[in-house]
Amino acid sequence: MPRGWRCRPWRHSWWCRAGRGLDKRRQSDQPFPIVNSGVIMRRFVMALCLVLVPEAALAWPSWLSFGTEPKAVAPRSRPPGLDFGDKSKAGDCAITFDDGPGPHTGVLLELLATHKVKATFFVLGQHARAYPDLIRRMLAEGHEVENHSWDHPDMRKLDEAARRKEIEDTMAQLKSLGADPHFFRPPYGAYDPALVELARKEGLEVVLWSRDSEDWRYHSVSAIEGNILPAGQGAHGIFLFHDIHDSTIAAMGGVLDDLGAHGCRFVTMGQYRIAAAVSPDQAPTRPTEPHQR
Amino acid of residue 199 = A
Domain tally for the chain? Answer: 2
**Is residue 73, in this structure, part of any structural domain at all?**
no
Query: Is the domain of 126 the same as that of 238?
Result: yes
Query: Is the domain of 235 the same as that of 198?
Result: yes
162 pLDDT higher than 80: yes
Query: Is the domain of 46 the same as that of 86?
Result: no
**Is residue 245, in this structure, part of any structural domain at all?**
yes
Cβ atoms of residues 186 and 122 within 8 Å: no
Residue 85 burial (CB count, 10 A): 22
- pLDDT 10s digits, 6-64: 555 444 544 455 455 444 444 444 444 444 555 445 555 454 444 444 433 333 333 22
Q: Which domain holds residue 22?
A: 15-64
Amino acid of residue 66 = F
Residue 175 burial (CB count, 10 A): 11
Query: Is the domain of 50 the same as that of 183?
Result: no
**Is residue 293, in this structure, part of any structural domain at all?**
no
Query: Is the domain of 112 the same as that of 182?
Result: yes
Query: Is the domain of 52 the same as that of 169?
Result: no
Rounded to whole angstroms, the Cα distance separating 246 from 261 reads: 24
Query: Is the domain of 85 the same as that of 166?
Result: yes
DSSP calls for 45-82: HHHHHHHHS-GGGG---GGGSTT--PPPPPPPPPPHHH
pLDDT at 88: 57
The catalytic residues are 98, 242
pLDDT at 283: 46
pTM over 0.75, yes/no? no
Query: Is the domain of 87 the same as that of 178?
Result: yes
- What is the pLDDT of the chain when averaged over all its residues? 77
**Is residue 119, in this structure, part of any structural domain at all?**
yes
